[in-house]
Amino acid sequence: MLKNRLKKRLVLIYTAIFAVIALPVAGLLYDSYLHMQDDAKAEWAMHATQVLKMANNKIKDDLAIENKRSFMEYRFIKVAKTISAGEQPTYSDLALNFPVTSCNSDSSKIDYCSQYAGLIGHFQIDPDGVFSTPYLPAGALGQVQLENKEIRESFQNQLKFIVRDMGIKNKGTATQDSSKNSNALDQLANELDLSKSKKKKRLRVERTSEQEQFAFNVESAKMDTSGLYRIFPYVGTMDIAIESFQAKQNRKYIVFYRNVLRGEENFVQGFVVDLREYLKSIVDIEISDYTAEDNHLGLAFMDSNETIIAFGIDARSAMKVFQEDLAEPLNNISMAIYVDNSVQKVGSDKGQIISNGELLFLIGGIMFLLLGGGLISIYRLTQSQLDLAQKRQDFISAVSHELKTPLTTIKMRAEILQSSYNKMDDAKRMRSFDQIASESDRLTRLIQNVLDLSKLDGNRWVANIRKDRPKAVLDDFVTMYTKNIEDHGFSLTVSCDTDIDKVQLMMDRDAVMQILTNLVDNSLKFSRNADYKMIIIELKTEGDHVYLAVRDYGPGIPTSEMKNVFQEFYRVENEMTRTTKGTGIGLSMVKKLCTLSNMRIEIENANPGLRTKIHFPPQTI
């Protein structure tokens, strides 16, 4: 009971030590994890800022190209300068590059594919709300015969539907209160009321020639009641005020558009792109890394927190490290970058990633393993020392008991002989002398066992291995020990193979005698209450080796105790409650003697009883 309480106390102490060390370590690891997450977010946010900058530069470059496009380019015809004939009307570049839908499949024929991925087409809305495109002639040129006119008309209607579905309309003619002598830039600035505008619009002025004005009027001519087109020539040059591009988008398209003021007339010009194709194009270099199998990144474009298009890992299972709006005019769309919750970027190489969870688990696991393993080892060492101390204490108690019993018997018989020697007959005297001799032999064996154990523990036992006959050793033991066996009320049976007498082995004779003595003593002690008081000693061959076996008919050894019986001072019974004599060193000595003599010991329950086999090394001659 005391031993169990002590073990429980040790468990509590070492558990408390583990908790005192482990809890702060766990806190430090968790704090490190938070710092790693913060560092990861900061590092990926820096990376995301570069991606956003790249995307915004792509948008800026695209719109810079479109801003350079002349006001006249949005019509079917334009005026081009020639060396020989001066300014001459010709087809606009946009009109010549129809159909635009082929740009994705054959970009070598269309200039705009390299500039606008997913380009649908260009358009213009006149002051009176008439929708036109550079792919179909209008006004006085509307009667021009084209091979694919029906296709162009269908395409124009498609663009018209997209633009009007976005709610993009022309605000019409500038206010009539403005001075007719004011130039176009002043009128547009007055109309937009720049001082009150929330977003300052950038303007540029384009000067058109008289010939360009005439070409524009031809395509803008309206049919009168007589069925004729009225073309109003415009004399002199004219300043055209062009506003910077704005944008609107839905779930499928983006419409880039600008306001253009020509005199008192306002035009809306722009182009339509496929939403997903265009957004993909502005980050095409970055997302090429997101298709790899070991990718841990995700990029998404969002509109009001609803994902428009995403690349890489699923945002639902990732950590958002960055989200910011694109530059104007696409500032209604935001770009977000996600990183797998388990990763941390290390070093400057984006491909070098290591899992935060795995890293911390590895570090924490090693630390807790070392800590727990160390404490468990210390606990087991402490427990083994306590067990050893308890066994030594039991051994001392057992030796004291074993010494006291024969000494008491010897003293009692000596006192009886001393006081009643003349009154006793010869038979009683002989019984007293025999008992004194028997107890003296028992005392001698006990002392010899203790001395032999001391030699074995101190490596002072000298093994005297020489060639001998195991049958001769057994015969000597039987001659010497039979009387002691019979005195305990047991009978001895010896069983040997017929040809075993000729076998000679390399052995330590003294060790074999000591082993047999201890095994037989154990059988006598533990089988004293057996139904069959018999000791059987076998000497037989088994394959290429010889074995000795001692068998009794006692209670045997519980299976759970088999692995412990060879420990020093170990006893199956508790020292305070045991009923069997002995010190607990017998089988321990047998095991050590077998090891020193190159022999092997094997024990097994014989049901009933215990059978102990000593295997000699296979060195027959």
Tell me if 20 is assigned to some domain: no
Residue 496 has pLDDT above 50, yes or no: yes
> Residue with structure tokens 């009027």?
217
616: DSSP letter: P
**Is residue 89 domain-shared with residue 236, that is, in the same domain?**
yes
Least confident of 46-60, 152-166, 186-200, 271-285: 186-200
Which of these three, 234, 256, 279, is where a domain ends?
279
Mean pLDDT of all residues in 468-489: 90
Tell me if 312 is assigned to some domain: no
Q: Where are the beta strands (DSSP E) in 171-218?
A: 203-208
Distance CA 534, CA 550 (A): 11
> Could you tell me the two tokens for 183?
């130039």
Least confident of 179-193, 313-327, 539-553: 179-193
Predicted local distance difference test score (pLDDT) of residue 226: 59
Least confident of 188-192, 465-469, 587-591: 188-192
Residue 362 has pLDDT above 90, yes or no: no
Predicted local distance difference test score (pLDDT) of residue 295: 63
Q: pLDDT band at 272, cuts 50/70/90?
A: very high
Residue 191 has pLDDT above 50, yes or no: no
Phi-psi region of 304 (alpha: psi -120 to 50; beta: other; left: phi over 0): left
Residue 324 has pLDDT above 80, yes or no: yes
Q: pLDDT band at 247, cuts 50/70/90?
A: very high
Which of these three, 279, 303, 328, is where a domain ends?
279
Predicted local distance difference test score (pLDDT) of residue 255: 94
Residue 500 has pLDDT above 70, yes or no: yes
167: DSSP letter: T
Tell me if 332 is assigned to some domain: no
Residue 619 has pLDDT above 90, yes or no: no
Which of these three, 225, 260, 279, is where a domain ends?
279
Mean pLDDT of all residues in 131-157: 80
What is the DSSP secondary-structure string of 229-267?
A: EE-----S-EEEEEEPPEEEE-SSEEEEEEEEEETTEEE
Predicted local distance difference test score (pLDDT) of residue 83: 63
Predicted local distance difference test score (pLDDT) of residue 579: 46
Distance CA 521, CA 538 (A): 16
Tell me if 303 is assigned to some domain: no
Q: What is the CATH number of the domain that holds 594?
A: 3.30.565.10
Q: Which residues pair with 274 in a beta bridge?
A: 253
pLDDT digits (tens, 9 = 90+) for 305-321: 788 888 877 777 777 88
Least confident of 431-435, 486-490, 597-601: 431-435
Mean pLDDT taken over the chain: 77
Distance CA 532, CA 607 (A): 12
Tell me if 45 is assigned to some domain: no
> Could you tell me the two tokens for 164?
């009007």
> Could you tell me the two tokens for 86?
């001066």
Tell me if 221 is assigned to some domain: yes
Mean pLDDT of all residues in 555-576: 70
> Could you tell me the two tokens for 481?
């020990």
Q: pLDDT band at 355, cuts 50/70/90?
A: low
pLDDT higher at 217 or 580: 217
Domain span holding position 478: 387-615
How many other C-beta atoms can be found within 10 angstroms of the C-beta atom of residue 59? 20
**Is residue 140 domain-shared with residue 260, that is, in the same domain?**
yes
86: three-class secondary structure by DSSP? strand
Predicted local distance difference test score (pLDDT) of residue 492: 93
Q: pLDDT band at 175, cuts 50/70/90?
A: very low
Helix pair angle (586-596, 426-457), 10° resolution:
50
The answer to whether 323 and 334 have CB atoms below 8 angstroms apart is yes
Provide, rounded to the nearest whole percent, the portion of the chain with pLDDT above 90: 14
Residue 489 has pLDDT above 80, yes or no: yes
Q: 614 Cβ partners below 8 Å, 6+ apart?
A: 512, 515, 547, 548, 549, 590, 594, 599, 600, 601
The total number of structural domains in the chain stands at: 2
Mean pLDDT of all residues in 133-140: 79
**Is residue 241 domain-shared with residue 92, that is, in the same domain?**
yes
Distance CA 133, CA 151 (A): 13
Residue 580 has pLDDT above 60, yes or no: no
Tell me if 197 is assigned to some domain: yes
**Is residue 395 domain-shared with residue 254, that is, in the same domain?**
no
Q: 467 Cβ partners below 8 Å, 6+ apart?
A: 504, 505, 506, 621
Predicted local distance difference test score (pLDDT) of residue 110: 44
Residue 280 has pLDDT above 80, yes or no: yes
* Most trustworthy range by pLDDT among 43-57, 67-81, 492-506: 492-506
Residue 235 has pLDDT above 60, yes or no: no
Quick one: which of 259, 251, 254, 209 has its CA closest to 234?
209
Distance CA 134, CA 116 (A): 17
Mean pLDDT of all residues in 487-494: 91
428: DSSP letter: H
> Could you tell me the two tokens for 276?
């997903």
Distance CA 462, CA 597 (A): 10
- The span from the first CA to the last CA of the chain, in angstroms, equals 55
**Residue 399: C-alpha distances to residues 439, 474, 575, 584, 591 (Å):** 14, 29, 11, 9, 20
pLDDT higher at 199 or 590: 590
**Is residue 208 domain-shared with residue 87, that is, in the same domain?**
yes
Q: pLDDT band at 399, cuts 50/70/90?
A: low
What is the DSSP secondary-structure string of 138-165?
A: -GGGTT---TTHHHHHHHHHHHHHHHHH
172: DSSP letter: -
Distance of alpha carbon 55 from the chain centroid: 34
Predicted local distance difference test score (pLDDT) of residue 343: 58
Q: Report which secondary-structure segment, H or E, holds 325.
A: strand 318-325
Least confident of 67-81, 96-110, 274-288, 294-308: 96-110
Predicted local distance difference test score (pLDDT) of residue 194: 39
> Residue with structure tokens 């087991």?
380
Predicted local distance difference test score (pLDDT) of residue 103: 47
Q: pLDDT band at 125, cuts 50/70/90?
A: very high
Residue 351 has pLDDT above 90, yes or no: no
pLDDT digits (tens, 9 = 90+) for 425-467: 888 888 888 878 877 877 787 777 777 767 766 677 777 888 9
Residue 421 has pLDDT above 80, yes or no: no
The number of helix segments (H) and strand segments (E) in the chain equals 12, 24
Q: Which residues pair with 335 in a beta bridge?
A: 301, 324
pLDDT higher at 188 or 514: 514
Q: Which ranges of 68-177 would DSSP assign to H, the alpha helix? A: 93-96, 149-165
pTM for this one?
A: 0.51
**Is residue 260 domain-shared with residue 393, that is, in the same domain?**
no
Tell me if 376 is assigned to some domain: no
Q: pLDDT band at 491, cuts 50/70/90?
A: very high
